[in-house]
Amino acid sequence: MVIELTKSETHVTEATSFILELLRKRNVKQNLEVFSEIILIAKILHQRFRETDGIKVKKNISIELAKKEILKTVEKDQYYNLLKQFIKDYSQFREKEFH
C-alpha cells in the first residue's frame, strides 16, 4: 500500500533526509537526543509549511515555548544585530527577485 504524502509532508521529509545525511557525513553520533532534535525541527517545519499553505494548525505548546526561549537567547547573542540585518537583506532580495 502506497501512501500519498502532502506537499508539506514531502518537504519535511526532504529537509529531514538532508539533515540526516549531513549528520552522517560529519560523523555525528545519531542517538535519541539527536533524533529528538530532528523531530522538533520536523514538527516546526511541518507547522510552518501547513500554515503557509493556508491550513489551520493547532499550535503545539511545547514548540511555542521552545521558540520563545530560543528568541530570548538569540536576542542576547553577540551576532543578534548581524542576524537581524541578514534577515532584512534577504527579505529585500526576495522581494526584488519576485517583483
pTM of the model: 0.74
Quote the pLDDT of residue 99.
63
The residues spanned by each domain of the chain are 1-58, 59-99
pLDDT for 98 beyond 80? no
Cα–Cα distance, 28 to 30 (Å, whole number): 6
pLDDT for 97 beyond 80? no
Quote the pLDDT of residue 45.
94
pLDDT for 59 beyond 80? yes
CA dihedral for 55, 58, 61, 63, sign (positive or negative): negative
| Residue range 11-28, pLDDT digits in tens | 999 999 999 999 999 999
Please name the residues in contact with 77: beta carbons below 8 A apart, sequence gap of 6 or more.
83
Quote the pLDDT of residue 1.
80
